[in-house]
Structure formats: structure tokens, C-alpha cells
Amino acid sequence: MLYRSESESTTAIVPLFKDAHTELSVRAFFDQQGIRPLLDCKLPDPGSRYTDRCLVYPLPLEAARAINLTVGLFRDVYGLSHEAGLDFRYYEAGAESKKSI
């Protein structure tokens, strides 16, 4: 999930994972990039299909760096191949419309 708050001046990525191995891979990926989480907390609902951890990592302000970081995460951690297409969707909280990018 990508997160942006103009009031907080924050742009972040919130990776979701289903198991401890993927969580450790996410942590290692961001550690290699020299990026520490803005938030690392336990979720109140451990019965969800995802792990009970919430990790929020800041995204770089430069678009090219943010894109490279996101694509690297998809490829290195989640196994998305170079040939796979990516579909990014933009949802604005409180807005009725959804935009495909």
C-alpha cells in the first residue's frame, strides 16, 4: 500500500506480508537501502490473513528513486519478474472515484 498525507508531509509504503519469512525479507530489503521504518507496530487483529505487524517505510521524494525502490521491492521480495506488467491504482480517501495510473 502507498500512503500520502499532505498534512503530515509524508509519503510512505506499507508492505503487506503473509508470513514471517516475507516480513524478514522486507526488513532486510529496506535495511540494505538504509531506510528505517517510520512505524513498526503490532496490529490489533492477529486473525487477519496478514502477519500481525505493520511496517511503514518512507518513500524518497524523488519520483525516480521512489519508482526504483518500489519496483526493487516487488522484484526482490515478492518475486515479480521483469516481464510482469505493473498496475498502479490511486485511491483518494473520502473520494468516490478511483483512478488507474
Higher pLDDT among residues 35 and 6, named by residue: 35
CATH class of 2-100: alpha beta
Task: Give the per-residue pLDDT at 26.
Answer: 94
For residue 13, what are the contacts with CB-CB under 8 A and spacing of at least 6?
A: 1, 2, 3, 56, 57, 59, 69, 70, 73
The residue ranges of every structural domain in the chain are 2-100
Task: Give the per-residue pLDDT at 16.
Answer: 79
pLDDT digits (tens, 9 = 90+) for 39-91: 998 776 656 665 567 899 999 888 778 888 988 898 899 888 877 776 655 55
Q: Inform me whether the pLDDT recorded for 99 exceeds 50.
A: no
